[in-house]
Structure 1
Amino acid sequence: MKPSSFVTAMAAVLVLIAAQHAPLAAGRGPRVIIVGAGMSGISAGKRLWDAGVRDLLILEATGRVGGRMHKHNFGGVNVEIGANWVEGVNGEKTNPIWPMVNSTLNLRNFYSDFDGVVANVYKENGGLYEEEYVQKKMDRADEVEELGGKLAAEMDPSGSDDMSILAMQRIFNHQPNGPATPVDMVLDYFRYDYEFAEPPRATSLQNTEPTATFADFGDDAHFVADQRGFETLVHHIAGQYLSTDNAGNVVDPRLKLNKVVRGIWYNRRGVVVSTEDNSRYSADYVIVSTSLGVLQSDLIQFNPQLPDWKIIAIYRFDMAVYTKIFLKFPRKFWPTGPGKQFFVYASSRRGYYGMWQSFEEEYPGANVLMVTVTDRESRRVEQQPDDATKAEAVAVLRRMFPGVDVPDATDVYVPRWWSDRFFRGSYSNWPIGVNRYEYDQLRAPVGRVYFTGEHTSEHYNGYVHGAYLAGMDSADILINSVFNKVEFKVRGKYDDLQAAAEAM
């Protein structure tokens, strides 16, 4: 069929939908399709259900529920290859994820002692740096970060004054010519890349100093290591409105797995969603909960094309890559005990197998280590054979422990979030110069097409609680439009400035 004929045919389909959905005006709840069964999509569905919207259909591209919360059996234990931590615990406010994890579901979780890192920084060719030496460098980095937070607080809320974290470091003469030594580099990596999955040159100062998650919910982080999987949380939320089996798995016919959405047609009367298996589903509205990386790819075609302002907003944000590489060994050879959970390799190459984690409490007896890489290194390792990655990682360990008999790893697992067409990355990072205006644009609906995901969370993008709250927020936008006739309004970029001026 020619493109013009196809468009005409789809227009006819939409007219038919309008006739089928005429009762909507008489008070019946709308039909809503949710694209994606990750945290945001499932959270949005729960919010709609609680508001009385019963006609829901969830289309998930993969064969499972959970999205970027995903367990994988490795070395005889289930490890988390995606989201792993509840970040932001023990503050004045309660992270909404924490009670569900720690009380309702009782998922096994462990406090992450990141303060111990300073005592476990290894030189490029073996041996530990003196803790006092590392602590002084960390103290200086803390001081500069605090100065950066004060500078950020003085910036224009429009984002017009924003700068990169790297620029802030230069202003305060912190490593003015770049990290001078491998230990400087790896500590800088630990503070920024390890959290945001991109280097300081790419990350906004204004919107990460302080990071809202820790400022609001507390500085602690708890590592989830339950054999049921962190994704159990998503199943728990889904089970509050979808049918599940005795094991808690969603078996509701309103959830369709292995349905790869490739097209969304929309007009003022309704939507049609097409999938790769040539199925079509009609509804009044659609909520797209795919990752930002998918929105930036060509997986889903919108017809008509999304407006320019929406496309620009989608591309204003970064989709970062965070890769947790798992290695199985025949025996332990690394230091264990209190304060040894994390150890660091200070390479002269930024991000080269730098951040290591052992699992003495989490997976006792498994003899598994995890090393994290991000950004360019993530993309590089995704494109090489796993055996090459295993060899590189073991070589690093042998350099770290030159007097130790380091055996070959018996197995390796390398997640490939960037290469996976259903994700195209791990989570979003807040780039320079973006403020609430761009976030409003990112989550704003286009006609009957709504958007959600951790990338639409103004304060908590990149985190599990951000995805959870974003799903509810986007559902509320739809609910307000349908039932209260309140349309979502994108606030102007300089509204805060104008309001301040008028108040003077």
Structure 2
Amino acid sequence: MSLLLVFFRFQVVVLESRDRIGGRVHTDYSFGFPVDLGASWLHGVCKENPLAAVIGRLGLPLYRTSGDNSVLYDHDLESYALFDKAGNQVPQELVTQVGLTFEHILEEISKVRDEQVEDMSIAQAFSIVFKRSPELRLEGLAHNVLQWYLCRMEGWFAADAETISAKCWDQEELLPGGHGLMVRGYRPVINTLSKGLDIRLTHRVIKIARRYNGVKVTTEKGDTFVADAAVIALPLGVLKSGMIEFEPKLPEWKQEAINDLGVGIENKIILNFDNVFWPNVEFLGVVAETSYGCSYFLNLHKATSHPVLVYMPAGQLAKDIEKMSDEAAANFAFSQLQKILPDASSPINYLVSRWGSDINSLGSYSYDIVNKPHDLYERLRVPLDNLFFAGEATSTSYPGSVHGAYSTGLMVAEDCRMRVLERYGELELDIEEETPASVPLLISRM
């Protein structure tokens, strides 16, 4: 968004609270190769995705982990291995059968919610479905596999089934083309989008004063910046925390949008090994009696040829793990791996994300909570005079995604441009509009 405003010859300053750019997009190179601690997929590998043109022009390869645009999984269930906690692999036929049952349950949940005036959680909806259709209630190993499917669903929303809205869980727009893993990480995209911008790192904003004739922004260090307009792309968790003072206070409808949107937590514990000892599948799963006890590992070796597994806890489990030290968290992830692969060799190094406790994010991404309307995303995006709001939590169609954040940035840049031009009159701009050529995405499938 800032680059677009610069293109229109606006003077733009970006205030970044971290000592790096990217926010919840964070590619780490400490292993000697790139791994993403935050966002790592392009959800919707197609030309309709607003980020596709950027990724295509850069020639960045994608590894398609699923051709299915399901909101439940971003990994292809044709390439998996599930195990019970005794280390026994679950027969693929059973996993497929339970998967069909899970889809049937979700269909029944849609019927239940349409019959109810009040919203309910996904967990409550499951209970109602089981009461109505006892044959859908599974036992033994099949029940544990069903809990694993629920665990994956919770991972998509970064939240527990007890808090996810049954009325709104499927309201996001799904782009075609499935899901593509960024093989070289998202950092090249961030570097490209930030090129030529005046970015001030370690400038944590604590106050935003809105006046008719401008905006005054104050940082933690006492620096002040005055501008005609301001674009606020803060994570939802930071807005919820109240650590930033707005003067005057945000109107009630705007504050309600902030308060009533959910913000979930999904973390990554990235384990780097000196050799590959696991099956050649895209991910490994551990089934259990509860979704809290289930887990899954993304196999980066399949996509990148590096001997790396990524453990991805979400919801309450992610919160509990954040209370541990990095070493304890890595040991916990490795202990989950040892349950299914007893002869696993210890990792040679590891990385641990903490999006929930990171003061600069206070959460991973947004989701719909029970009894709150889906239009809260749009309410959060609506500008206040010369304050404009962007980010994944302002995207009604694509919340929780990188392309959702990017698309709102493009919209806000245009809104901001028009606002300034309306106030100060047309600017004399010498612009040759260039329509970028369509560049095909580089997609692999192993």
Instruction: Please indicate, yes or no, whether the TM-score normalized by the shorter chain is above 0.5.
Output: yes
Separation (CA, whole Å) in 2 of partners of 1:438 and 1:477: 19
Question: For the Cα contact (< 8 Å) 2:147–2:294, is it kept in 1?
Answer: no
Report the secondary structure of 1:203's partner residue: coil
Instruction: Indicate the SS of the match to 1:475.
Output: helix
Correspondence 1:443 to 2:381: yes
Letter in 2 for 1:222: G
Q: State the partner residue of 2:289.
A: 348
Residue number in structure 2 paired with 1:377: 317
Asked whether the equivalents of residues 207 and 217 of structure 2 are also in contact (C-alpha less than 8 Å), the reply is: yes
Alpha-carbon distance in structure 1 between the residues aligned to 2:247 and 2:4: 27
Deviation at 1:373, TM superposition (A): 0.3
Aligned-residue offset at 1:95: 1.3
8 Å contact kept, 1:87–1:222: yes
**Cα deviation 1:119-161 (Å, max 9, x = unaligned):** 5110111111111112111011122334445777x689xxx65
TM-score, normalised via structure 1 length: 0.75
- In structure 1, runs of 5+ residues without a counterpart are 1-42, 244-251, 486-504
Distance change (3 Å), C-alpha of 1:258 and 1:210? closer
User: Deviations 1:171-207 (Å, cap 9, x if unpaired)?
Assistant: 43389798753222112112x1121111233222333
Please report how far the alpha carbon of residue 96 of structure 1 lies from its aligned counterpart in structure 2 after TM superposition.
Answer: 1.6
Task: Work out the number of aligned pairs and report it.
Answer: 410
1:111–1:220 contact (8 Å) kept in structure 2: yes
Cα drift, residue 234 of structure 1: 2.7
Determine if contact 2:79/2:283 at 8 Å carries over to the other structure: no
Distance 2:251 2:172 in 1: 31
The equivalent of 1:463 in structure 2 is 401
| Superposition map of 1:208-247 within 5 A | 208-209=169-170, 211-213=172-174, 217-218=175-176, 220-226=178-184, 229-239=185-195, 243=196
Report the 3-state secondary structure (helix = DSSP H, G, I; strand = E; otherwise coil) of the residue aligned with 1:323.
coil
The change in CA–CA distance for 1:109 and 1:96 in structure 2 (over 3 A counts) is same
Which letter maps to 2:179?
A
Shift of residue 255, structure 1, vs aligned partner:
1.9
**Does the Cα contact within 8 Å between 1:149 and 1:210 map onto a contact in 2?**
no
In structure 2, what is the Cα distance between the partners aligned to 1:119 and 1:332? 16
Rg larger in 1 or in 2? Answer: 1
**1:329 Cα shift?**
2.2
| Alpha-carbon spacing, 1:413–1:238, altered in 2? closer, same or farther (3 Å) | closer
CA, structure 1 residues 439+472, in 2 after alignment: closer, same or farther (shift >3 Å)?
same
Distance in 2 separating the partners of 1:126 and 1:74: 32
Question: Partner residue of 2:121?
Answer: 164
Cα 1:353/1:134, change in 2 over 3 Å: closer
Give the drift of 1:222: 0.5
CA separation in 2, counterparts of 1:413 and 1:353? 21
CA distance in 2, matches of 1:136, 1:272: 59
- Aligned partners of 1:397, 1:155: CA distance in 2, in Å? 42
Shift of 1:465: 0.9
Q: CA deviation at 1:219?
A: 5.4
| Partner AA of 1:129 in structure 2 | V
Measured in 2, the distance between the counterparts of 1:482 and 1:312 equals 27
- Provide the TM-score with structure 2 as the length reference: 0.84
SS at match of 1:172: helix
| Residue equivalent to 2:151 | 189
One-letter code of the match for 1:97? Answer: L
Contact preservation (8 Å) 1:127, 1:401? no
Amino acid at match of 2:54: M
Q: What SS does structure 1 have at the residue aligned with 2:130?
A: coil
1:326-475 equivalent positions in 2, closer than 5 A: 326-336=270-280, 340-352=281-293, 354-364=295-305, 366-402=306-342, 405-435=343-373, 437-475=375-413
Secondary structure of 2:246's counterpart equals: strand
Amino acid of the structure 1 residue aligned with 2:36: E
Query: Matched residues in 2 for 1:255 and 1:179: separation?
Result: 54
1:313 match: 257
Output the aligned Cα RMSD: 2.6
Deviation at 1:116, TM superposition (A): 3.0
Cα distance in 2 for partners of 1:286, 1:82 equals: 26
Distance 2:308 2:416 in 1: 45
